[in-house]
Amino acid sequence: MRGRSHARTHATVPRPPLRTTPRRYALKLNNAILAAPEHVPLYAELVDKFPVEYIAGGATQNTVRVAQWMSGTPGFAAYIGSIGADAFGAQLKAAAERDGVTTYYYTADAPTGTCAVLVHEKERSLVANLAAAEKYAKSHYDSQPIQAVVDGARVVYSAGFFLTHASETMVAMGKAVAAARGAKVYAMNLSAPFLCAFFKEQMHAVLPYADFVFGNESEAAAFAEANGFAGASVADVALRIAALPKASGARARAVVITQGADATVIAVDGAVTTVAVPPLTSAQIVDTNGAGDAFVGGFLAFFAKGATLVECAKAGHWSAAHVLGQSGCKFDSAAKYTA
C-alpha cells in the first residue's frame, strides 16, 4: 500500500487547561482551522507550557500508519509526502518509521507542516499550519525512485486535501493505476465539506480514476449540495458517486460513507450494503481525532489481504474504535484485530 498527501506533525496536548489558550487565539472546541499569522506563537507556547506528544500526522499519513499496523506485515505500507529540512521534519520521519512505515519525503523549501491538536473533555480544536505540506513538487512524484514505489503498490491512497494545491499529481497517480487494468486500485477521500464545495473541479478531475471513494455523512451532504442534489440520502449520494464515469472498466467503483455511530454505507454496482458499527460507551472514547483516518486504514489493509467489502468495513470499525480510545491518532502496536 502506498499513501500520498500532506505530511504534518501533530502536536497533541492531552487535556490541556483551555481556559486561556483558546480565548487568546480565538479557538473553538470541535473545530479545525488553518493557522493565520496570529496563531504562529501558539505552537511554541504549547511546547513551553504543556506536555506535548508528537505524532506523525496528516490525514493520509494517519491512514497509512494504521494500515501498516492493521496489516501485521513488515514493510506493508509506504508514504510519499513533503516535509521541511528542520527538526519537525526529522521528528515526523522518525515517528512514521517507528510505526513501520517506509517514508519517501520530498524536502521542500518551507518549514514542516504542523497541526496543534488541543483536547478538552474529549473535544478537540485543530490549528493546522500546512507549510511544506502544500509545497509538494510533482517532479518528485515523476522521479524514478518514486515511480518504482508506485509501480510496486497494489493500493494507492490519498486524502482529498491534496486537491487544494496539487490535483495534477493525483490525476497522474490515478492514470498510472488505471493503466494497470485492475492489478491496482486507487482510493481517495472526500475529506472535508469545503473540498466538495470549493474544489469541485479538481475533485471531478480525479474521481474518474477512483476505485474507492471514502467520506462521512457531512461530506456526502456537501457533495450532494455542490452537485445539484441537495437533501439526498447518504445511500443515494453513495450510489450517485459510484455511478460517475470511470476511466477503467476493470472494476466497479465502491463508495464507502461512515456515519459515526450509525451504520456505514457501501455502494457498488448499483446496490447498497450497510454495516452496523459496534456501540461504544462514552467512557471508551478519549478523543475523536483521527478516527475517520483510522477507519480507512483498517479497511484498506484488509482489502489488500483479499477480504470482502463487509469484512473490510468491520476491520475499519475496529481500528477506528481503537483510535477513539487513544489521545490522538495512535494505537497500541501489540493490539491485534481478529475478524
The set of catalytic residues is: 293
Contact by Cβ (8 Å): 89, 107:
yes
**Spacing of C-alpha 206 from chain mean position:** 16
For 332, half-sphere exposure in the C-beta direction (CA atoms, 13 angstrom radius) is: 10
Distances (CA, A) of 22 to 41, 53, 145, 261, 290: 12, 19, 43, 29, 21
Helix (H) or strand (E) holding 107: strand 102-108
Handedness of CA 217, 223, 225, 229 (dihedral sign): negative
Residue 246, φ and ψ in degrees, nearest 5: -130, 135
Contact by Cβ (8 Å): 52, 12:
yes
Contact by Cβ (8 Å): 95, 55:
yes
CA–CA distance, 239 with 295 (Å, rounded to integer)? 20
The residue type of 64 is V
Residues 6 or more apart whose CB falls under 8 angstroms from that of 21 comprise 27, 42, 45, 46, 118
Geometric angle at alpha carbon 55, from 49 and 58, rounded to 5°: 115
DSSP for 119-172, written as a single string: EETTEEEEEEE-GGGG---HHHHHSHHHHHHHHT-SEEEE-GGGHHHHHHHHHH
CA–CA distance, 158 with 206 (Å, rounded to integer)? 11
